[in-house]
Structure 1
Amino acid sequence: MVMRVLGVMVLSLLVTIISGCGKSDEEKRFHQELLDKALNDDTKKEGLLYLEENARKDGVVVTDSGLQYQILQAAEGPKPEMLNRVRVNYTGWTVNGEPFESSADRAEKPVFTVKDVIKGWREALLEMSPGARWKIYLPSELGYGARSPGGMVPANSALIFEIELLEILPQEKADQ
């Protein structure tokens, strides 16, 4: 919650600074409209409402960043580090339950470098051990933010993923 308020304040400050630099009232109005749209976006509001309700469910843990997660299958062992490459199985949904991406049907499961995934995935993966399966709930700031990755995911979307960490790749496998 504090991070969300801080983010809004920073965004407001940036727009105020930028709009003050405009040469005309029209440019200032345009910048104010951008700020209003960012703060009052229906997709953003829908996601925030979903996450507020979800945070009250049994078994849901909320971190300082706003990441929410449920441990579906616990695992013990090493955890990946930022520069490690990991093999995962995952499915992603919007908060209205529409699936938008999945590796379930892929014969070869995807490999990602932890530092290169979206913030919410990164935070979760760094706490998981191979064999763990988590369901994570991301505010838009921990997902794709104010941009849309395309397809069925609008800008400012809160997202849900089920992630299974299959393995942390040894360096020699990661280089291939």
Structure 2
Amino acid sequence: MVMRVVSVVVLSLLVAITSGCGETEEEKQFHQQLLDKALNDGTKKAGMQFLQENAQRDGVVVTPSGLQYEVLQAAEGPQPNVLSQVRVSYTGWTVDGEQFESSVGKEKQPVFTVKDVIKGWREALLKMSPGARWKIYLPSELGYGARSPGGMVPANSTLIFEIELLEILPQEKADQ
């Protein structure tokens, strides 16, 4: 697993360094093939398979972007906008069930500006109201894409999060 991630990183760096340096058309095609191979590795394929199967489950909603979600606890009320700061409780897993991050049980739950979170979170948060708890399933393009944020999350990972929107902070509170 680690070797695969290292291989993808090294391959991506080689492509980035050598691309655009007066390449012939054949060299460009070769570099594109290397990049395509790096972006369609086993991690990506396993995630795509997981999402195909998950989309068939009752209660799972699939949006046009590919975000999948299920509402665990509904809530009504205002929804954040992209400039809102929100306080959330969350846990994240890879598709093989490994938990890689969690704010649950911490003294203070984190605050994020909606525009600054990964695309899948942004899309979900913009549909949620305080008190809502959702489980979201993110294809790699809505997560960290072809890069690894480190640790237990390889590049091209499909990710699963359980997110509870605790509050939308008023502007005065958000500035503090």
- 1:96 partnered with 2:101: no
CA distance in 2, matches of 1:93, 1:65: 20
TM-score calculated relative to the size of structure 2: 0.85
Deviation at 1:106, TM superposition (A): 1.2
CA distance in 2, matches of 1:80, 1:168: 6
Alignment-derived partner of residue 81 in structure 1:
81
Contact 1:19 1:28 in 2 (8 A): no
Alignment-derived partner of residue 11 in structure 1:
none
Taking only the aligned residue pairs, the percentage that are identical comes to 71
Contact 1:139 1:158 in 2 (8 A): yes
TM-score calculated relative to the size of structure 1: 0.85
The one-letter amino acid of 1:142's match is L
Deviation at 1:27, TM superposition (A): 6.5
Alignment-derived partner of residue 30 in structure 2:
29
Aligned to 2:47, the other structure's residue is in SS state helix
Aligned to 2:122, the other structure's residue is in SS state helix
The one-letter amino acid of 1:34's match is L
Contact 1:19 1:32 in 2 (8 A): no
The one-letter amino acid of 2:151's match is G
CA distance in 1, matches of 2:20, 2:53: 36
- 1:70 partnered with 2:70: yes
Alignment-derived partner of residue 50 in structure 1:
50
Contact 1:139 1:157 in 2 (8 A): yes
Once the two structures are superposed, what CA deviation does each residue of 1:77-110 show, in whole Å capped at 9, x if it has no partner? Answer: 0000110000000000000000000001210000
Superposed, 1:120-139 pairs within 5 Å as 120-139=120-139
The one-letter amino acid of 1:54's match is N
CA distance in 2, matches of 1:64, 1:31: 27
CA 20–45 in structure 1, closer or farther in 2 if over 3 Å, else same: farther
What root-mean-square deviation, in Å, do the aligned CA atoms of Structure 1 and Structure 2 show?
2.0
Gaps spanning 5+ residues in structure 2: where? 1-15
- 1:160 partnered with 2:160: yes
Aligned length: 159
CA 56–174 in structure 1, closer or farther in 2 if over 3 Å, else same: same
Alignment-derived partner of residue 115 in structure 2:
115
Deviation at 1:141, TM superposition (A): 0.3
